[in-house]
Amino acid sequence: MDLIEVKVLKMKELALSKDLIKKVHKAAGCKSPKASVKEALEEWLAQQPRDWSDHSPTTSPFIDVRQSPIHGTGIYAAMDIPKGTKIIEYVGEKLTKKQADKRWEEHCALVEQDKSLGGVYLFQLNKKYDIDGHVPWNTARFINHSCDPNCETDIAKGHIWISSIRDIKKGEELFYNYGYGWEEFEDHPCLCGSYRCVGYILNEDMWPKLFKWLRKTSKPFKKR
């Protein structure tokens, strides 16, 4: 590699990191425009978690939102993300267990009429409250399911996070396992296309039961 090539590469690197710094500053609402990416990320993380009454759409310097080949809109890594990073908070309406039970029943009644409706977005937060993530300000609701996920949901200090379970490369789509139960999986075929895909959106604990069921019902095992 000659000197000019090295200079061009260095300039490209510089332009890339300037873009990244701008993006991180914007998402973080970073006060000091001279701060580095690391400082801006730290500032953003220090502002979390957000207040439940804040209904402005959530954002994160780690994500891009765009069309997914798997389903509708998806969320992508805007930069390399190390394992164990809290990527974005999963927010929503905070419901008492009684309110959440009512919402679940209403949703089941709707699904009875239209099987294509998605699963309910209820998350158990603690013994007292559940979170309904089906609200326009919850950007994390766009994260699709995969049978080979790179993220998981994580509860810390009364808030739900989408966290990376392995190092993720810039541009990869983010996924977690939705953990649907046995009662509902048959209405939710999985299109994740990963080498581990079991053909349905189903909690991994249930996979042995699924394989037995597939053998018994002689349903073809979907391998893409």
Q: How far is the CB of 39 from ligand SAM (least distance, A)?
A: 32
Q: How far is the CB of 104 from ligand SAM (least distance, A)?
A: 15
**Among candidate residues 52, 47, 30, 51, the one with its CA nearest the CA of residue 39:** 30
In this structure, the number of other CB atoms found within 10 A of the CB of residue 203 comes to 15
**Residue 202 touching Zn ion (CB under 5 A):** no
Footprint (CB under 5 A) of Zn ion, residues 5-24: none
Of 94-102, 129-137, 141-149, 157-165, which segment contacts Zn ion by CB under 5 A?
141-149
DSSP 152: E
Q: How far is the CB of 203 from Zn ion (least distance, A)?
A: 12
Among 191, 207, 213, 222, binds ligand SAM (CB under 6 A): 191
Among 30, 125, 192, 202, binds Zn ion (CB under 5 A): 192
| Contact call for residues 24 and 78 (beta carbons, < 8 A) | no
Footprint (CB under 6 A) of ligand SAM, residues 23-82: 68, 70-74
Measure CA of the first residue to CA of the last residue in the chain; give whole Å: 41
Q: How far is the CB of 32 from ligand SAM (least distance, A)?
A: 35
Cα gap 212→209, rounded to integer Å: 5
**Among candidate residues 105, 222, 124, the one with its CA nearest the CA of residue 179:** 124
List contacts with Zn ion (CB under 5 A).
Answer: 147, 190, 192, 197
